[in-house]
Structure formats: C-alpha cells, structure tokens
C-alpha cells in the first residue's frame, strides 16, 4: 500500500483515535504504509472493534475516490503524527486520528477562540457576535465556529470582515457543506482560513455527527465563548466539552425574559466567566488587547446617524418605551398610550431606518 492510500485509510477508519493511531504507527516503525498489516497483529487487538474490523476489510475503491476528491479540491489529510496536527486538540481525550482540511493547515496550530451560539439569535446577539469576532480577529486570535445558521455564521463573517482568520468545523464531509445556503460563506472561509472535518468525503450531515463536531471546536481553542443559547442547546455541549478539556468557558448574559439567554445564564451559574466586553476574554486569556476599540464601528454608525433624520419626540418616546428587551405592540400601547395603528406605523419606519428589528412572536427589538 502506498503512503497516500494508507493515510486515506487512517482517515476513514471509524472510531480511530489519535492515541490508538499513534500506537499503531509506532508498531509500524513510523511507516504509514504498514498500518494495515500491523492492525492484523497484536497491536490491532487494542483498537476499537469498529476500527479493527474496518482495517481488516476496507474498500480500496472508496479510498481511491477519497484521494481523487482531495486532489481535485485542494484538500489534505492531517494525521495525528503530522507536525500540522493541532497541538491543543491532540491533548484532548478521544481526539481523532486524522482531520480533513481545506484552506490553510497551518492555522490549525494558531491561537484560537471558539465562538458558538443560537441558530435563531436576536438582532442584538447577531451584532454582538459579529463585533466581538472582528475584535478578536484584529487582536490576532483565529475565530473558530461551526458554520451553522445564526451566531456561528455571524462569528465567521465578523472575523472575515476584519481581515482575520476563521476556521469552520463541519459535521459532515467537506464535500457536503451544511447548511447548503452557507456554500458561499464556506468558500470565503476556505480562502481566508480553513474548513475542517474529521468525517471523510461523502459523509452526510447526520444529527449524531454534531456532538462529535463540537468536541473538535472545543478542542482546537484556548477557550469557548457562548454568545446566545437556549437552555437546551448544542452550544452548551461545546462549552461542557471545553471545560472538560481544561479550557476557559465564557458566556455573555442577556435579558431574563429571552429564551436564548437562559443557556448563557446557566453556564454563568455553573462557573463560566461573565463577559460584558471583548476585553474581558482577552484579559482572561492574557492576550494583548488591540489599540482599536470594539466600539469603533458603532461610534461611526452613531456619527453617521447624527447626520441623518432627527427623531421626533414621539419616536424618541417609543424607543425609550421599547428599551432593550423585545416587546409586542400591545405592550408598547400600554407603556406609551399611543394607538396600536400609530405604533405599527412608527415601528415600520424605525425598521426601515435600521433602528429596530422584527422578532418571532410579533415582537420588536432595538438594534445595537
């Protein structure tokens, strides 16, 4: 067996951990082309049953197809014994024997911060994720997330907009970008960062894959920041896995009335560090704080707004009544004594101006 085929074999072997693969390669004298033979010997008895069974009867044509796809799509297999394998991930229990990578494999070893959160965030949560990710990227941290809808996508976009690096860990093969609507975002990440998966080409985005994906996100990073999360959320799994690996866990608090804040509050009660500004994370990680303030984009927006339409007294009153928690038109009627028709008309204008956003359940919220 040649070396490329043997590497593809290790990448596709189910249940093969970095620790087991290292033992297997050591028994083969470091010759990756001899691993299949070693798997049939004494060392193979210590492998997980699924791994031992696969190594004893693998599909050579499937491996050829994997190599063809990797070669055609500028992708690489990074084995646990390669220098490019992320050192922080190697320290975690159950780290995979191999990673499939598109983009820059060198980024796997870069200092990273994992940022995760709700797939259905509030407008404020989405903006916070984007702003924080941009700030971390400017500070020199690569932003790692899962390419999911909502907070994950906002984090990737914030890092890219700041000209920084971002890594996306998939719960499918690299040839099956999920969700499909993030195909363009995935291509941007590939060009300016890295797409990563422990799953071989052709693997569908099955629900069981995502907890495994989450352990990779947590294992790559110095810490994990949860922006918004419901009480039962995959983001909490990532946070727990980060804590189990001895990494820092951070959470941004939110409204006590918001369901996507409950997961963050739960984490804070359990010992996660409360974050009010991006500097809190960098300080805890002992990372140098960039000179540009996080609020620079907001300051520019506020300055631009000063040259726009000045709000009438009734509009100011409505925004004050709206506060910083989502509200329905009925609740705003009670707070302002304006008619529901007038409030609906004013909210439409404020939404067109980007000052408020519509939320599920007929609610409205102020935009940061």
Q: What is the domain-level CATH number for residue 215?
A: 3.40.50.450
Domain contains 304: no
pLDDT of the residue at 298: 42
pLDDT of the residue at 30: 66
126/99 same-domain check: no
Question: Lowest-pLDDT range, 117-131, 161-175, 198-212, 284-298?
Answer: 284-298
C-alpha–C-alpha distance, residues 101 and 84, integer Å: 11
Of the three residues 233, 267, 295, the one that is the final residue of a domain is: 295
Please state whether the predicted TM-score (pTM) of the whole model is above 0.75.
yes
115/92 same-domain check: no
C-alpha–C-alpha distance, residues 366 and 323, integer Å: 7
pLDDT of the residue at 345: 87
| Percentage with pLDDT > 90 across the chain | 64
* Residue of 149, 111, 144 lying closest to 228 (CA atoms): 149
C-alpha–C-alpha distance, residues 290 and 292, integer Å: 6
* CB of 136 closer than 8 Å to CB of 235: no
DSSP string of 140-203, one letter each residue:
TPEEEE---TTHHHHHHHHHHHTT--EEEE-SS-TTS-SSGGGHHHHHHHHHHEEEEESSPTT-
Q: What is the mean pLDDT of residues 273-296?
A: 77
Domain contains 300: no
What is the domain range of residue 328? 309-366
User: Is the per-residue pLDDT at 252 higher than 90?
Assistant: yes
> For the segment 83-142, what is each residue's pLDDT rounded down to a tens digit?
999 999 999 999 999 999 999 999 999 999 999 999 999 888 999 999 999 999 999 999
User: Is the per-residue pLDDT at 40 higher than 80?
Assistant: no
Greater pLDDT, 11 or 307: 11
- List the beta bridge partners of residue 153: none
User: Is the per-residue pLDDT at 258 higher than 90?
Assistant: no
Question: Lowest-pLDDT range, 212-226, 230-244, 285-299, 313-327?
Answer: 285-299
186/243 same-domain check: yes
* Residue of 20, 184, 7, 26 lying closest to 101 (CA atoms): 7
138/45 same-domain check: no
Give the count of beta carbons closer than 10 Å to the beta carbon of residue 117.
Answer: 33
User: Is the per-residue pLDDT at 33 higher than 80?
Assistant: no
* Residue of 316, 336, 333, 330 lying closest to 361 (CA atoms): 330
115/101 same-domain check: no
CATH of the domain at 325: 1.10.10.10
DSSP 3-state of 120: coil
- pLDDT confidence band for 301 (50 / 70 / 90): very low
C-alpha–C-alpha distance, residues 133 and 278, integer Å: 9
Return the percent helix, strand and coil in the chain, to nearest 5.
50, 15, 35
90/181 same-domain check: no
User: Is the per-residue pLDDT at 334 higher than 60?
Assistant: yes
Q: Which residues contact 345 (CB under 8 A, 6 or more apart)?
A: none
Number of domains in the chain: 3
The residue to which tokens 């303030």 are assigned: 293
180/245 same-domain check: yes
97/217 same-domain check: no
Kindly tell me the sign of the dihedral angle through the C-alpha atoms of 204, 207, 212, 215: positive
Of the three residues 58, 73, 105, the one that is the final residue of a domain is: 105
For residue 317, with 0-12 CB atoms within 10 Å meaning exposed, 13-18 middle and 19 or more buried, which class applies?
middle
Domain contains 303: no
Of the three residues 295, 320, 345, the one that is the final residue of a domain is: 295
Domain contains 58: yes
Domain contains 177: yes
Domain contains 301: no
61/124 same-domain check: no
Domain contains 340: yes
* Residue of 160, 158, 166, 162 lying closest to 126 (CA atoms): 158
10/88 same-domain check: yes
C-alpha–C-alpha distance, residues 344 and 241, integer Å: 45
User: Is the per-residue pLDDT at 347 higher than 60?
Assistant: yes
Domain contains 154: yes
Greater pLDDT, 307 or 212: 212
User: Is the per-residue pLDDT at 196 higher than 60?
Assistant: yes
Residue 355 — φ and ψ, nearest 5°? -90, -25
149/271 same-domain check: yes
Question: Lowest-pLDDT range, 53-62, 109-118, 194-203, 261-270?
Answer: 53-62
Relative to beta strand 142-145, strand 166-169 is: parallel
286/353 same-domain check: no
């Amino acid at each position: 067996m040649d070396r490329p085929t043997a590497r593809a074999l290790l990448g596709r072997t189910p249940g093969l951990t970095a620790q087991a693969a290292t033992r297997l390669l050591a028994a083969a004298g470091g010759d990756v082309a001899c691993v299949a033979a070693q798997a049939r010997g004494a060392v193979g008895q210590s492998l997980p049953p699924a791994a031992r069974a696969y190594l004893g009867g693998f599909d050579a044509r499937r491996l050829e197809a994997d190599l063809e796809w990797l070669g055609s799509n500028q992708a690489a297999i990074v084995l646990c014994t390669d220098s490019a394998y992320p050192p922080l991930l190697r320290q975690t229990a159950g780290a995979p024997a191999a990673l499939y990578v598109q983009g820059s494999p060198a980024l796997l070893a870069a200092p990273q911060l994992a940022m995760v959160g709700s797939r259905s965030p509030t407008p404020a949560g989405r903006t916070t994720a984007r702003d924080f990710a941009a700030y971390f990227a400017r500070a020199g941290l690569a932003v790692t997330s899962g390419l999911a809808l909502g907070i994950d996508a906002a984090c990737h976009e914030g890092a890219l907009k700041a000209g920084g690096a971002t890594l996306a860990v998939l719960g499918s093969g690299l040839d099956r970008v999920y969700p499909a609507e993030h195909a363009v975002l995935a291509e941007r990440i590939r060009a300016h960062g890295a797409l990563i998966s422990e799953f071989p080409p052709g693997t569908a985005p099955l629900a069981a894959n995502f907890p495994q994906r989450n352990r990779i996100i947590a294992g790559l990073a110095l810490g994990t920041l949860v922006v918004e999360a419901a009480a039962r959320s995959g983001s909490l799994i990532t946070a727990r896995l980060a804590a189990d690996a001895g990494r820092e866990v951070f959470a941004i608090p939110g409204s006590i009335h918001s369901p996507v804040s409950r997961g963050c509050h739960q984490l804070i009660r359990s010992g996660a560090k409360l974050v009010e500004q991006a500097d809190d994370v960098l300080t805890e990680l002992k990372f140098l704080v960039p000179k540009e303030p996080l609020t620079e984009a907001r300051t520019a927006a506020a300055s631009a707004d000063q040259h726009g339409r000045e709000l009438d007294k009734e509009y100011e009153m409505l925004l004050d009544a709206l506060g910083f928690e989502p509200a329905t038109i009925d609740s705003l009627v009670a707070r302002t004594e304006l008619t529901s028709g007038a409030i609906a008309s004013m909210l439409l204008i404020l939404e067109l101006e980007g000052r408020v956003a519509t939320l599920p359940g007929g609610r409205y919220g102020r935009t940061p």
